[in-house]
Chains A and B, each alone.
Chain A
Amino acid sequence: EAQVTQNPRYLITVTGKKLTVTCSQNMNHEYMSWYRQDPGLGLRQIYYSMNVEVTDKGDVPEGYKVSRKEKRNFPLILESPSPNQTSLYFCASRNPGQLYGYTFGSGTRLTVV
């Protein structure tokens, strides 16, 4: 089944403790992206990657890092999480010709206390 898989689905952590949210896709997509979803703000792009070793900032990159060492994986790293990063996170992927949007993962609910 074609899908984007995120792990974990739920995570509660403490301020300052480094964490990684993994994202993997099995569709050989070139483009991958991370979004956060907050009430009243919709989905906002954090980082995106157009291919292996090619990444760039989205609208809200502060406090996040990403890497793209393999085509299928695009982990999101929070080196020192803070409470304002409590949110619902989505990874998504598509191919360059797939203009009508991404395939999204099921989301990671992160709470930073």
Chain B
Amino acid sequence: QKEVEQDPGPLSVPEGAIVSLNCTYSNSAFQYFMWYRQYSRKGPELLMYTYSSGNKEDGRFTAQVDKSSKYISLFIRDSQPSDSATYLCAMSAGGAQKLVFGQGTRLTINP
């Protein structure tokens, strides 16, 4: 079983839709949770991050962490074609510990 599971999609939605992306994990030591966005032929870029449980909002993006269920989510409101990318969840136990990534979800927003 992978430490982090993410539905690879692909996911295709119309412009303006609310998008929900999710990951589950098995390692209860994870405390730092991140979402990366990766455009085609580019490296991943940090989009959102949260520590432990709770919500964090940044513009149209909301990240949620439920440590009791070992489940994290990223919501995108009023989705735009420029949001079309692969979204990767990543998590770490902190310190020098490595990032562990999900498989990535390929998202397409159709105009």
Contacts and interface: CB of A to CB of B under 8 A. Distances in A.
Contacts of B103: 40-42
The size class of the interface chain A forms with chain B is 20 to 34
A50 B96 contact: yes
B32 interface: yes
Contact of B42 (A31, A33, A44, A107): A107
Interface stretch (A13-21, A72-80, A98-106): A98-106
B99 interface: yes
Given A31-B96, A42-B6, A43-B88, A100 B43 contact: no
Contacts of A40: 8, 103
The size class of the interface chain B forms with chain A is 20 to 34
A99 B92 contact: yes
A99 B98 contact: no
Interface of B: 4, 6, 8, 32, 34, 36, 41-46, 49, 88, 90, 92, 94-96, 98-99, 101-104
Interface of A: 4, 31, 33, 35, 40-45, 48, 50, 58, 90, 92, 96, 99-102, 104-107
